[in-house]
Structure 1
Amino acid sequence: MTPRNEADQSALLVICHGLGDTSDGFDDVAEHLCRKLPYLKIILPTAPTQPVTMNMGMAMPSWYDIKGLDMKSNEQCDGIETSQSRIEQILQTEHEKTGLPYSRMVLAGFSQGGALGLYTGMQLKPVDKKLAGVVVLSGYLPQQSKFTITPGMEDTPILHCHGSQDPVVIYPMAQMTQQALTTLKGATNYELKTFPVQHTVSPQELVAVEEFLRKCLPPDDSCKIKVKDAKEMSIKELKAAIKKAGLSNKATGFCEKSEFIKLVQDHRDGKL
């Protein structure tokens, strides 16, 4: 999801869903946040479908295998490095394609997705890929023994929202994650917020996430992305941009490429 006028984008949020879910599960959250922060682009990747040991080997969307929710089992997250590389590639592609700095990007996730976001976001290398922040919703730190914060990223803001009544990722896991990150791993900007809910994302948590994003990613026109010149776009790209901007009705009857170019450019220049 991108701003109606893609040229207005100046920040990026990547949200990783939980075990067994897909990107569709966070469509509503993404739409809500895009309305509140109209300069924000949100990417919702879907995990690959693979067997999960904890769920009797059933295949489902999963970022990595989960053998159990105890501390010992949590050290065996087969496949997490593959998903870590995938999320890193998403961030790198956005940076290279648009020129958006990593300092205008936030990585978020729910449950297993929150674990992946934390594991990935705090270990990006080199340090100039330091993110604006990391959001963990009902998540935890996976593979603690293998996790090391990249030097220079210790003060990356981390918001961890967790339900005190969570029966899946129990609240003590959130407390242990906070302790491990701050006491053992060196994180200096970690906030754990508790909510009287179970394993879900509550409206109150969304308010906290929105406030966090406004602080980490305030409006900044100097960070607007580089967009492809309308004159260099193909007819297919021009039509896609027009459709996304909700201007298809204004392109009815267009025959010449120059007409599509002018419509896209006028939209970007705020003339429509």
Structure 2
Amino acid sequence: MSFNSSSGGSQNSRTTFEFGRTHVVRPKGRHQATIVWLHGLGDKGSSWSQLLESLPLPNVKWICPTAPTRPVSLFGGFPCTAWFDAQDISEDAPDDLEGLDASAAHVANLLSPEPADIKIGIGGFSTGAATALYSATCHIFGQCGNRSPYLVNLSTVIGLSGWLPCSRTLRNRIEGSNETLRRAASLPILLCHGTEDDVVAYEHGEKSARVLSSAGFQNLMYRSYDGLGHYTIPEEMNDVCRWLTTRLGLQGS
């Protein structure tokens, strides 16, 4: 699937991103929630769909898209699957707004056909978590960075081993609107990070949680895991399951 993105309304700066294959894990019980899950740099949707299918969440439908293959500055321009171009993995690096907007819009398009009574959410790992958190800001503002409308009503966002893009300007942008503040305060966000993460440093995850909290995201939980590197463990996924069951009001099968 391709998605056209343009910055500032200019037709000349239009880029077409070719997204890879999307893998869907159907609910085993009554469908109550749909969550798009975003992989990390160089990965693909299929590797996470296998893990998510094994979780004890029979009422959740998982959508696992694959990012476009594109040159990544972090790897010296070597192409790999990436939701956006990462120059450095930190909240201080320049933000690839065009890539982030295209990925956020792609995720919203995947969620838009879901029935009105289904709770919807976005989660991800590493750069996927960064994209999920960027989508959270699109949700509260009602639009992405390129001012295209963001019409999906999120019920939760989960970020594992990630960080918040565009963190430097977030607080000032939120304070200008009571509606934005209300949306931020009511959106449940779970952030998880390992203390020994050698790819996305623990400090970046912790700082992102502080920035979100101070900007008005009041329904935020930050979980740290001693000794955990840049990967996930059963304890962390158990916390994700508990979070989703509680915040989305999931019942049994």
TM-score, normalised with respect to structure 1: 0.72
Equivalent in the alignment of 1:118:
133
Alignment-derived partner of residue 62 in structure 1:
82
Aligned match of 2:211: 180
Offset of residue 78 of structure 1:
4.5
**Distance change in 2, residues 1:179/1:9 (3 Å):** same
Cα distance per residue 1:94-142 (max 9 Å; x no partner):
2xxx3334xx112100000001011102422289844221110001001
Instruction: Give distance in 2, aligned partners of 1:204 and 1:88.
Output: 29
**Corresponding residue pairs, total:** 211
C-alpha separation in 1, matches of 2:98 and 2:72:
10
Partner of 1:213: 244
Secondary structure of 1:162's aligned partner: strand
Extract unaligned runs of 5+ from structure 1: 222-272
**1:24 aligns to what?**
46
CA contact (8 A) 1:108 1:135 kept: yes
Normalized per residue, which structure has more strand?
2
User: Which one has a larger percent helix, Structure 1 or Structure 2?
Assistant: 1
Aligned pair partner of 1:139 in 122, 147, 162: 162
Could you tell me which runs of 5 or more consecutive residues in structure 2 were left unpaired when the two chains were aligned.
1-24, 144-149, 175-179
Distance change in 2, residues 1:152/1:130 (3 Å): farther
Question: How far apart are 1:161 and its partner, in Å?
Answer: 0.6
Q: In structure 2, what is the Cα distance between the partners aligned to 1:203 and 1:93?
A: 31
Structure with higher Rg: it is 1
CA distance in 1, matches of 2:160, 2:71: 23
CA RMSD of aligned residues (A): 2.2
1:100 to 117, 123, 128: 117
Take 2:28 and 2:156, find their aligned partners in 1: how far apart are those partners?
24
Name the structure 2 match of 1:13.
Answer: 35
Task: Report the alpha carbon displacement of residue 75 of structure 1 after superposing the two structures with TM.
Answer: 3.2
In structure 1, the residue corresponding to 2:207 is in which secondary structure? helix
TM-score, structure 2 as length reference: 0.77
Percentage of matched positions with identical amino acids: 30
Query: Aligned residue for 2:220?
Result: 190
